[in-house]
């Protein structure tokens, strides 16, 4: 990918899941690539357990919001995220969703049971980073472009962000790794 | 200092404040403006600036502190949300007349939508009413630039200047270039001039005259002159400000109209540049104006027959101008077909108090103690007590107390007046509850005030309160004691309890209700720290979630009346389980279950989470 990269991603979940944290890591990764970036976030009352959505726009945009039918991809931290925010996706967009695996719905849609993986790590609130890792892992095995950035760039952004909290950084890395390996496995089983 | 940094809009605004060499910065927290002050303080510290940054008890006080610093020749800023400006409108109107010596920037963040506010009011209209200029940024980058422009204009014209960002600017993040910091040493030099700083009405007339002169000159200021962004020419034109301009820019490109439909961006909606008004109306037959949320630019473009906007009903007067609406408006105006299809927005999940929130326990106790009372409440997380049926009214900051008084006076002639229970947060009580409580004492209002004391301003990201005893940087300050203030107001019944001890709290509120029926106002302080507050030790205290035993018959009493998000009914409706990922281990639900089917867990195993700790609402 180069300077002409343009990508619009919707990141959705529920207040408290860490939607903003994932959005920020991805935005930092874009800056590492020298790409212009704009995000739009949910703050305030809606953050109290309500539906939360971030818009992430990489490349030369002026507006921070993604229009209906314009997003290249969606990271859904809850299975319901697709129902709530699927209207933003353009035809053929990719979807990475946290939810029990119920088979592959479309060639560009993948699910991971991030809650079970998180429980396995003894860190039930790591769903956000597991799903991010999963999306990066899937992208590696997918011939069509998925997330604009690489695992390495996310790792660097994570270290920058949590470098002063070694315990948190270690737990976060473990979550990202768990997602990555699930993604690499899931990324190879392309059907349809 | 150079380089590029990913910044939240509010951090970019703070960057502009710091780069302008601001000496005094004040605020009261409120979404979407909350992050500005903390970021001013931390960036100011990072740049080694000698600066006073503080949370004030309310917006009026914040305004007056910053304004006096500007009167003395220093650069100063005050930030708040749009309804906060209502509270600060008294000093605003007067400061406009008296003007300023040092640069004075008033940042009032609007919330079209509304996403986290009571109203969609337009602060630009307040600027117009006060007769001060207002700048309207479209992105974090532009917000940083316009803060610097605002300081410069304020000093040049000796007038307070407003910056009006909206939610979509405050809570956007963007790569922002860092500029050099103004390190000019400014010393306070207040020059006494009673005809200006203490003007009587006779002198106010003269000040008003001077103010009009300043505005006329500001309507010619070259640095804020509207910009034709695409160089196009044609009969029809679009003029936009704020984030609507950013949406319009992308949409004009997507619709293939960038080279043919002239697009003006307006940076200073009031006063609109006199020459621009003449030019735009002579060059174009019709003009579509896109702005949030009132037609402030539109009403200054005087030709009604040729201007399309809010006044002729072309643009909705209600709700956010989101990109879908703007695409539709531009496509219709240019007689093009739009590319995207509008889709109805499905309802999302409603907000709720956090699992383990002490407010939920208090509301449950209130409902138990006085199930038929009128419940007045206030602005904060606890507004969500309406999910539990324990909040009947929410008007504005402090109104829980005065509305309780109003209901009392309305019903006092009735044979059986209802009990009245008001709930207010600690920060809101300091902000605007105290005068209302003094009034209620004077009038012997028979009601119970429950102060929800979680030791923080939770909804906006856990800023300290006057009782916290710490400043914006966490340094020690003098702490004010809640009980002393309440007793000082003349309240005879003041008692404190921990809502986690649900039965005791219920009894305490019952006692207070009984007292209030006989004697007048009673106050219960329901005290337990917010679980999201990083300063609180409560975070470290983790317990295993309680267990639901086989006694649970799926009656849903806990789900419907306690409404904790960690209590999850199974799809078959035969029982309720506890979601260990959400449960805080507070154990209050043990006392809620009418079947005694929830029992305590023991021990401690929870680990940290890299997600929400990073976030401020």
Q: How far are the Cα atoms of A65, A113, A123, B42 from residue A118, in angstroms, in the given order?
A: 31, 9, 5, 34
- Residue scoring higher pLDDT (B339 or B555): B555
Mean pLDDT of chain B: 93
Quick check: A51 and B172 CB within 8 A? no
On the question of pLDDT at A141 being above 50, the answer is yes
The predicted-structure confidence for B191-212, as pLDDT tens digits, reads as follows: 999 999 999 999 999 999 999 9
Q: Which one-letter DSSP state was computed for residue B345?
A: P
- Spell out which residues of chain A touch residue B581, defining contact as CB-CB under 8 Å: 115, 118-119, 124-125, 127
Interface probe with A: pick from B609, B612, B614, most Cβ of A within 10 Å: B609
| Residue from the list A21, A50, A171 with its beta carbon closest to the beta carbon of B608 | A171
- Spell out which residues of chain A touch residue B342, defining contact as CB-CB under 8 Å: 68
The A residues from 95 to 114 touching B (CB cutoff 8 Å) are: none
Decide if the complex's ipTM is over 0.95.
no
Residues ≥6 apart with Cβ < 8 Å to B378:
B394, B397, B398, B399, B400, B422, B423, B424, B425, B428, B433
CB atoms within 10 A of CB B418: 14
Report the pLDDT value the prediction gives residue A138, as an integer from 0 to 100: 87
Residues ≥6 apart with Cβ < 8 Å to A167:
B608
Q: How far apart, in whole angstroms, are the C-alpha atoms of residue A55 and residue B174? A: 12
Report the pLDDT value the prediction gives residue A106, as an integer from 0 to 100: 65
Q: Which helix (H) or strand (E) holds B175?
A: strand B172-177
- Residue scoring higher pLDDT (B138 or A119): B138
Q: Which residues pair with A57 in a beta bridge?
A: A8, A38
Report the pLDDT value the prediction gives residue B140, as an integer from 0 to 100: 98
CB B236 within 8 A of CB B335: no
Quick check: B354 and A37 CB within 8 A? no
The predicted-structure confidence for A83-118, as pLDDT tens digits, reads as follows: 889 999 999 899 999 987 665 556 688 899 999 999
Residues ≥6 apart with Cβ < 8 Å to B11:
B35, B39, B43, B140, B176
Percent of chain B with pLDDT over 70: 95
Size of interface A-B (CB pairs under 8 A): 191
On the question of pLDDT at B617 being above 60, the answer is no
**Crossing angle for the helix pair B358-369 and B502-519, nearest 10 degrees?**
50
Confidence of residue B342 (pLDDT cuts 50, 70, 90): low
The A residues from 17 to 46 touching B (CB cutoff 8 Å) are: 17-18, 20-24, 27-28, 30-31, 36-46
Quick check: B173 and A46 CB within 8 A? no
Report the pLDDT value the prediction gives residue B603, as an integer from 0 to 100: 44
The predicted-structure confidence for A44-79, as pLDDT tens digits, reads as follows: 666 677 788 999 999 999 999 999 999 999 999 998
Q: Which residues pair with A69 in a beta bridge?
A: none
DSSP string, A113-180: -HHHHHHHTT-TT-HHHHHHHHHHHHHHH-SS--SSS-HHHHHHHHHHHHTT-HHHHHHHHHHHHHHH
How far is residue B194 CA from its own chain's centroid?
35
In B33-113, where does DSSP find H-type helix?
A: 35-46, 59-71, 82-87, 89-98
Q: Is B343 left (phi over 0), alpha (psi -120 to 50) or beta?
A: beta
Q: How far apart, in whole angstroms, are the C-alpha atoms of residue B583 and residue B564? A: 9
On the question of pLDDT at A191 being above 50, the answer is no
Mean pLDDT of B281-287: 96
CB A136 within 8 A of CB A152: no
Quick check: B351 and A80 CB within 8 A? no
In B72-177, where does DSSP find H-type helix?
A: 82-87, 89-98, 123-130, 140-157, 167-170
CB atoms within 10 A of CB B277: 18
CB A31 within 8 A of CB B175: yes
Question: What pTM, to 2 d.p., does this model score?
Answer: 0.93
Interface probe with B: pick from A47, A71, A170, most Cβ of B within 10 Å: A47
Burial of B406 (0-12, 13-18, 19+ CB in 10 A): middle
Closest approach of A168 to chain B, Cα-based (Å): 6
Q: How far apart, in whole angstroms, are the C-alpha atoms of residue A167 and residue B280? A: 60
CB A114 within 8 A of CB A179: yes
CB A90 within 8 A of CB A78: no
- Spell out which residues of chain B touch residue A31, defining contact as CB-CB under 8 Å: 4, 6, 175
Quick check: A14 and B349 CB within 8 A? yes
Residues ≥6 apart with Cβ < 8 Å to A54:
A10, A11, A12, A19, A20, A22, A23, A39, A40, A41, A42
On the question of pLDDT at B299 being above 90, the answer is yes
Interface probe with A: pick from B611, B612, B613, B616, most Cβ of A within 10 Å: B611
CB atoms within 10 A of CB B71: 22
Report the pLDDT value the prediction gives residue B544, as an integer from 0 to 100: 78
| Residue from the list A45, A66, A168 with its beta carbon closest to the beta carbon of B351 | A45
CB B269 within 8 A of CB B294: no
With H, G, I as helix, E, B as strand and everything else as coil, classify residue B33: coil
Residues ≥6 apart with Cβ < 8 Å to A77:
A11, A12, A13, A14, A17, A18, A19, A22, A98, A114, A127, A128, A131
Q: Which one-letter DSSP state was computed for residue B470?
A: B
Confidence of residue B545 (pLDDT cuts 50, 70, 90): confident
CB B211 within 8 A of CB B96: yes
Handedness of CA B132, B133, B136, B137 (dihedral sign): negative
Q: Which helix (H) or strand (E) holds B561?
A: helix B557-561
Structural Rg of chain B based on CA atoms? 27
CA nearest to B97, candidates B170, B159, B144: B159
Report the pLDDT value the prediction gives residue B542, as an integer from 0 to 100: 56
Quick check: A128 and B611 CB within 8 A? yes
Count Cβ neighbours within 10 Å for each residue of A53-84 and write b for 16 or more, e otherwise: bbbbbbbebbbbbbbbbbbbbbbbbbebbbeb
Closest approach of B253 to chain A, Cα-based (Å): 10
Report the pLDDT value the prediction gives residue B611, as an integer from 0 to 100: 35
Lookup: tokens for B265: 């961006």
Q: How far apart, in whole angstroms, are the C-alpha atoms of residue B311 and residue B334? A: 19
Q: Is B323 left (phi over 0), alpha (psi -120 to 50) or beta?
A: alpha
| Residue from the list A30, A40, A48 with its beta carbon closest to the beta carbon of B351 | A48
On the question of pLDDT at B83 being above 90, the answer is yes
Report the pLDDT value the prediction gives residue B346, as an integer from 0 to 100: 73
B-chain residue closest to A62, CA distance: B246
Percent of chain A with pLDDT over 90: 63
Report the pLDDT value the prediction gives residue B596, as an integer from 0 to 100: 95
Confidence of residue B2 (pLDDT cuts 50, 70, 90): low
The A residues from 124 to 163 touching B (CB cutoff 8 Å) are: 124-129, 161-162
CA nearest to A149, candidates A18, A13, A11, A31: A31
Q: How far apart, in whole angstroms, are the C-alpha atoms of residue A173 and residue A123? A: 12
Closest approach of B211 to chain A, Cα-based (Å): 36
Report the pLDDT value the prediction gives residue B302, as an integer from 0 to 100: 79
The predicted-structure confidence for B108-145, as pLDDT tens digits, reads as follows: 999 999 988 999 999 999 999 999 999 999 999 999 99
Q: Which residues pair with A52 in a beta bridge?
A: A13
Lookup: tokens for B288: 């579509």
Mean pLDDT of A150-159: 94
B-chain residue closest to A169, CA distance: B610
CB B297 within 8 A of CB B136: no
The A residues from 41 to 80 touching B (CB cutoff 8 Å) are: 41-51, 61-70, 80
Quick check: B341 and A67 CB within 8 A? no
The predicted-structure confidence for A180-190, as pLDDT tens digits, reads as follows: 999 988 754 44
The predicted-structure confidence for B28-48, as pLDDT tens digits, reads as follows: 999 999 999 999 999 999 999
| Residue from the list A16, A46, A68 with its beta carbon closest to the beta carbon of B116 | A46
- The dihedral over CA atoms of B140, B101, B88, B55, expressed in degrees to the nearest 10, equals 70
């Amino acid at each position: 990918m180069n300077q002409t990269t343009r990508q619009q991603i919707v990141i959705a979940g529920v207040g408290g899941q860490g939607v903003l944290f994932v959005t920020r890591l991805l935005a930092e990764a874009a800056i590492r690539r020298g790409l212009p970036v704009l995000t739009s976030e949910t703050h305030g009352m809606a953050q109290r357990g309500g539906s939360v959505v971030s818009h992430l726009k990489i490349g030369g945009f002026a507006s921070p919001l993604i229009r209906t039918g314009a997003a290249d991809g969606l990271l859904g931290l809850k299975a319901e995220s697709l129902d709530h925010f699927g209207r933003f996706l353009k035809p053929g967009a990719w979807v990475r969703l946290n939810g029990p695996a119920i088979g592959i719905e479309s060639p560009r849609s993948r699910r991971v049971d991030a809650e079970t993986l998180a429980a396995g790590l003894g860190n039930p609130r790591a769903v956000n980073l597991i799903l991010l890792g999963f999306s990066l892992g899937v992208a590696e095995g997918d011939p069509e472009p998925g997330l604009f950035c690489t695992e390495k760039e996310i790792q660097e952004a994570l270290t920058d962000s949590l470098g002063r909290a070694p315990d948190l950084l270690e737990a976060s890395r473990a979550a990202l790794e768990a997602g990555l390996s699930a993604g690499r496995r899931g990324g190879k089983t392309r059907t349809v | 200092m150079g380089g590029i940094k990913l910044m939240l809009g509010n951090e970019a605004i703070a960057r502009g404040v710091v780069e302008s060499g601001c000496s005094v910065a004040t605020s009261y927290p409120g979404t979407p403006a909350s992050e500005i002050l903390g970021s001013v303080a931390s960036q100011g510290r990072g740049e080694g600036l000698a600066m006073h940054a503080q949370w004030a008890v309310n917006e009026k006080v914040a305004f007056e502190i910053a304004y006096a610093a500007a009167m003395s020749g220093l650069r100063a800023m005050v930030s708040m949300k749009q309804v906060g400006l209502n509270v600060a409108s008294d000093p605003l109107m007067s400061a406009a007349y008296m003007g300023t010596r040092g640069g004075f920037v008033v940042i009032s963040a609007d919330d079209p939508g509304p996403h986290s506010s009571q109203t969609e009011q337009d602060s630009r209209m307040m600027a117009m009413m006060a007769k001060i200029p207002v700048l309207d940024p479209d992105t974090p980058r532009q917000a940083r630039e316009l803060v610097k422009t605002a300081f410069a204009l304020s000093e040049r014209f000796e007038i307070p200047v407003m910056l009006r960002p909206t939610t979509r600017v405050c809570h956007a993040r963007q790569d922002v270039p860092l500029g050099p910091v103004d390190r000019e040493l400014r010393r306070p030099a207040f020059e006494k001039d009673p005809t200006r700083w203490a003007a009587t009405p006779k002198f106010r007339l003269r000040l008003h005259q001077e103010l009009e002169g300043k505005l006329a000159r500001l309507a010619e200021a070259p640095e804020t002159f509207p910009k034709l962004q695409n160089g196009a020419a044609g009969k029809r034109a679009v003029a936009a400000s704020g984030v609507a301009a950013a949406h319009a820019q992308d949409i004009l490109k997507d619709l293939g109209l960038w080279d043919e439909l002239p697009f003006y961006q307006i940076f200073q909606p009031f006063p609109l540049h006199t020459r621009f008004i003449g030019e735009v109306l002579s060059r174009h037959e019709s003009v579509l104006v896109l702005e949030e949320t009132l037609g402030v630019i539109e009403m200054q473009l005087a030709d009604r027959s040729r201007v399309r906007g809010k006044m002729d009903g072309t643009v909705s007067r209600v709700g956010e101008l989101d990109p879908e609406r703007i695409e539709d408006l531009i496509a219709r105006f240019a007689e093009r077909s739009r590319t995207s299809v509008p889709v109805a927005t499905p309802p999302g999940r409603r907000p709720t108090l956090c699992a383990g929130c002490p407010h939920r326990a208090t509301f449950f106790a209130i409902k138990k103690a006085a199930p038929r009372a009128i419940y007045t409440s206030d602005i904060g997380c606890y507004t969500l007590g309406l999910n539990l049926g324990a909040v009947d009214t929410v008007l504005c900051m402090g109104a829980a107390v005065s509305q309780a008084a109003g209901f009392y006076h309305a019903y006092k002639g009735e044979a059986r007046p209802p009990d009245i229970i008001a709930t207010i947060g600690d920060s809101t009580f300091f902000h605007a509850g105290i005068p209302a409580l003094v009034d209620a004492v004077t009038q012997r209002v028979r009601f119970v005030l429950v102060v929800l004391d979680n030791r923080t301003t939770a909804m906006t990201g856990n800023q300290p309160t006057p009782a916290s005893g710490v400043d914006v940087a966490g340094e020690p300050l003098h702490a004010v004691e809640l009980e002393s203030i309440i007793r000082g107001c003349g309240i005879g019944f003041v008692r404190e309890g921990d809502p986690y001890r649900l039965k005791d709290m219920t009894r305490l509120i019952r006692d207070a209700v009984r007292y209030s029926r006989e004697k007048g106002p009673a106050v219960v302080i329901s005290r337990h720290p917010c679980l999201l507050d990083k300063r609180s030790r409560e975070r470290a205290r983790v317990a295993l979630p309680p267990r639901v035993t086989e006694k649970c018959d799926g009656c849903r009493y806990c789900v419907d009346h306690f409404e904790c998000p960690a209590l999850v009914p199974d799809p078959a409706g035969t029982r309720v389980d506890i979601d260990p990922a959400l449960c805080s281990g507070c154990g209050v639900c043990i006392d809620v279950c009418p079947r005694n089917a929830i029992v305590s867990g023991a021990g401690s195993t929870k680990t940290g989470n890299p997600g929400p700790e990073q976030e401020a609402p």
